[in-house]
């Protein structure tokens, strides 16, 4: 149920992210999305259907970034209408003290209605029915000065099973919930550090598994 990838390298990682997501296609076929950061600007693209439909060779050749995240989606929350599936496709975007953040999620949150209402009361306007946006919302309205501090404040309040990859500037942050129900692992190839739902995502980009992310662990690439 959903595959997520995050890569930071010393060269363009767009093709690596697409290949890693292709190796995770069995985890979700409803849609796919990717966000890249090139040191100045973010580029984002997502769509409905298989990865090869959403990310053609022409799309990949036209973009550039040395850090990024992506997701192949399996819908578990929200209507299955086309518009709803597209809106809930990830990564989702938000803002932390005026700077863009992007987040991709594998898992399900439970009992999140009070958190949703809390974010609304602080001025956040929800755009989707996705439980993932609750995390984006809480980070967006956080009064913490640093994103890591905000995450350490928000994450313990979440109930359910989740693994996350978050893009902020040139960093990719990986998170696994304290129960470790959803998978997330760390790998490396010659030029990039990689986070992915499963180690099979390293195969096509000639990466090696370093280890699983531990339950309750937060890592920064």
Q: Which two tokens stand for residue 83?
A: 């518009």
Catalytic, out of 2, 42, 185, 200: 2
117's CB contacts (< 8 A; 6+ apart) are: none
Q: Is 33 helix (H, G, I), strand (E, B) or coil?
A: strand
Spatial distance between the Cα atoms of 97 and 89, rounded to a whole number of angstroms: 24
Evaluate whether 74 touches 30 at the Cβ level (below 8 Å): yes
Cross-strand partners of 35? 44, 69
Confirm whether 42 is a catalytic residue: no
Dihedral, 138, 139, 140, 145 alpha carbons, nearest 10: 130
Say which DSSP state 199 is in.
G
Active site residues: 2
């Amino acid at each position: 149920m959903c595959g997520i990838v995050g890569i930071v390298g010393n060269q363009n990682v767009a093709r690596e992210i697409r290949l890693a997501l292709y190796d995770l296609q069995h985890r979700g076929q409803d849609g796919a999305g990717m966000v890249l950061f090139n040191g100045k600007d973010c580029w984002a693209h997502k769509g409905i259907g298989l990865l090869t439909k959403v990310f053609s060779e022409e799309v990949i050749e036209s973009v550039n970034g040395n850090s990024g995240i992506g997701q192949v989606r399996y819908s578990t929350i929200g209507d299955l209408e086309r518009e709803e599936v597209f809106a809930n496709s990830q990564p989702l975007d938000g803002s932390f003290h005026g700077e863009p953040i992007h987040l991709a999620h594998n898992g399900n949150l439970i009992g999140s209605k009070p958190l949703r209402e809390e974010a609304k009361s602080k001025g956040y306007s929800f755009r989707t029915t996705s439980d993932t946006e609750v995390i984006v919302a809480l980070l967006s309205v956080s009064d913490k000065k640093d994103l890591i501090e905000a995450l350490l404040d928000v994450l313990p309040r979440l109930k359910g099973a989740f693994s996350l990859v978050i893009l902020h500037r040139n960093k990719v942050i990986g998170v696994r919930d304290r129960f470790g129900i959803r998978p997330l692992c760390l790998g490396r190839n010659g030029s990039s550090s990689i986070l992915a739902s499963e180690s099979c995502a390293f195969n096509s980009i000639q990466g090696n598994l370093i280890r699983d992310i531990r339950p309750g662990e937060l890592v920064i690439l």
